[in-house]
Amino acid sequence: MKYNSTTDKNIVVSASQAIAQGISTDGGLFVPQEIPQYSLSDIENLTKLDYVGRAKKILGDYLDDFTAEEIDECVTKAYTAEKFGSNDPSPLSYQKYGDIDMNILELWHGPTSAFKDMALQILPHLLTKSLKKTSSGKEAVILVATSGDTGKAALEGFKDVDGTKIMVFYPVDGVSPMQKRQMTTQEGSNVSVCAIRGNFDDAQTGVKKIFTNKELVAKLEEKNYIFSSANSINWGRLLPQIVYYFSAYSELVNDGKIKLGDKINIVVPTGNFGNILASYYAFRMGLPINKFICASNSNNVLTDFIATGTYDKNRSFYPTISPSMDILVSSNLERFLYHMTECDDKKVKEWMTQLKTKGAYTVDENVKEKITSLFAGGFCDDDSTTKTIGEFFNEYGYLCDTHTAVAVKVYKDYVEQTNDRTPVIIDSTASPYKFSSSVLKAIAKDDELPDDEFEMVELLNKKSNVSVPKPLAALKNKETRFTAVVDSDEMPQYVLKTLGVE
Ligand SMILES: *Cc1c(COP(=O)(O)O)cnc(C)c1O
């Protein structure tokens, strides 16, 4: 199977090239030329496998220049019980909120307590194998822009991986104290972490600019380095996320919640549009999905896009209590538009150019209609997020983080407006302990709140009886290793300096 660039179909690469490069030379994103098709009996076969088995089947169908042994090695090394707490890295938790059934897909049982681990525990294996196939001997420099969770998950996935160096850029005031601590204390000999004066979009644009800076790329090539990406612009990030949608569906069937072939709804707290796009690929492969419900926080550019067909990032940016979704340029929407226009690379290029030059574009009426028939969008501000966490916990006994609460509230609104009771999967994307302060505020009294992050963790544990993820508890006694702060236009110099290249 080959991959094309979203903005130039004449660019054709293999799976391993797509993963090794991360982004196409023309600035477009790699998309599969064909989408594997699963019948109901294929899905029935998946229900009989464990997570590792499901992942091997799905990854194998997309990565046809990997051998079965290679896929096997990648998957079994990534999804261990040691790293994810059990053989099911993404357990479902069946909850009720009033009379609404909430089947919560907990995607945060990995080493960094956010759903990013689901892809970033396997990406280093996929990437090092891809590099061996495509650019023998080169050392990969992984550049990551993060709104908080990707950075830590990527650092943890790539630390001390031979043949790689990883650099993470985060907005200096745009991450939670726990997220910051997770990153600045990162161990490993090949890692570095740098704060950016600006927001996530500035960091992301900075990284994209480095990738497409021909002079810089050439300079590094001379020193035997090649850039790659661990952001969800990399196909190797997106592909592993398809697996948990098939896996969750299989578990719903196995648990008798649905019958094979029944349709489900999917609710995703969305930022860069990666996670929800993975569910769309699952749908295109044959997973019976009725509606995709795209949940945003106050940075509701996607809610407006789904409602109107106009994407307009010229608006206020709000730092919220769900910071991993504080994004105004959702990069993976580009892939979605490519598929929604039947692979019209010229259209996608035109819209992406308008986004760069004017900050806005409007899709054609037929594309808009297609999107609204499949997608519903909704958003939830910080006050409702807090109220939702409080109510879900106090009245119905389930503790969730701020991002998950956005999804829960948007879904609740959706059901109340539509009365669509199709069985649902709601993605839960982070452990509540990653955002202890905001979560505590929702369930405790103001005068109870401690100042210290780790005292908050203790209090949250005492109130909720939900156990604290071990790696988060261990951060308390770790030393800070990284303190650099730079402007986003200084990022190229930071990269050169860190690599010792002049
Ligand atoms: C990254 C992240 C999101 C957003 O996911 P996208 O794939 O970027 O849409 C939501 N919640 C949490 C906790 C995250 O870390």
Match 């910071």 to its residue by tokens: 323
- Is 348 inside any structural domain? yes
CATH number at residue 409: 3.40.50.1100
pLDDT tens, position by position, 410-465: 999 999 999 999 999 999 999 999 999 999 999 998 888 999 989 999 999 999 99
- Is 4 inside any structural domain? no
Report residue 203's pLDDT band, with 50, 70 and 90 as the boundaries: very high
- Is 105 inside any structural domain? yes
DSSP state string for 150-197: HHHHHHHHHTT-TTEEEEEEEETTSS-HHHHHHHHT---SSEEEEEEE
Does the C-beta of 231 come closer than 6 Å to ligand 1? no
Is the pLDDT at 136 greater than 80? The verdict is no
Helix (H) or strand (E) holding 92: strand 92-97
Average pLDDT, rounded, for the chain: 95
Q: Is 14 helix (H, G, I), strand (E, B) or coil?
A: strand
- Lowest average pLDDT, out of 54-58, 102-106, 233-237, goes to 233-237
Does the C-beta of 429 come closer than 6 Å to ligand 1? yes
- Is 267 inside any structural domain? yes
Going by CA atoms, what residue is nearest to atom 2 of ligand 1? 324
Q: Is 31 helix (H, G, I), strand (E, B) or coil?
A: strand
Between residues 135 and 457, the one the model is more confident about = 457
Q: So what's the pLDDT on residue 334? A: 97
C-alpha 420/C-alpha 104 separation (Å) is 17
Enumerate the β-bridge partners of residue 97: 100
Q: So what's the pLDDT on residue 6? A: 98
Beta strand 2-5 with 30-32: parallel, antiparallel or unpaired?
antiparallel
% residues pLDDT > 90 (the chain):
89
Q: What residue numbers bound the domain in which 95 lies?
A: 77-116+236-435
Helix (H) or strand (E) holding 15: helix 15-21
Q: So what's the pLDDT on residue 364? A: 98
Does the C-beta of 431 come closer than 6 Å to ligand 1? no
**What is the number of the ligand 1 atom nearest to the C-alpha of 430?**
13
**What is the number of the ligand 1 atom nearest to the C-alpha of 272?**
8
Q: So what's the pLDDT on residue 108? A: 97
Q: So what's the pLDDT on residue 137? A: 74
Does the C-beta of 114 come closer than 6 Å to ligand 1? yes
- Is 422 inside any structural domain? yes
C-alpha 23/C-alpha 13 separation (Å) is 11
Does the C-beta of 437 come closer than 6 Å to ligand 1? no
Among residues 212, 209, 146, 155, the alpha carbon closest in space to that of 490 is found at 209
Q: So what's the pLDDT on residue 148? A: 81
Is the pLDDT at 502 greater than 80? The verdict is no
pLDDT tens, position by position, 155-185: 999 999 988 999 999 999 988 888 999 999 9
**What is the number of the ligand 1 atom nearest to the C-alpha of 327?**
8
As a whole number, mean pLDDT of residues 400-406 equals 98
Q: Which residues are catalytic?
A: 116
As a whole number, mean pLDDT of residues 235-251 equals 97
- Is 64 inside any structural domain? no
Q: So what's the pLDDT on residue 208? A: 86
Q: How far is the CA of 40 from the centre of ligand 1 (A)?
A: 30
Is the pLDDT at 369 greater than 90? The verdict is yes
Query: How many structural domains comprise the chain?
Result: 1
- Is 135 inside any structural domain? no
Q: So what's the pLDDT on residue 413? A: 98
As a whole number, mean pLDDT of residues 198-226 equals 91
Q: So what's the pLDDT on residue 168? A: 97
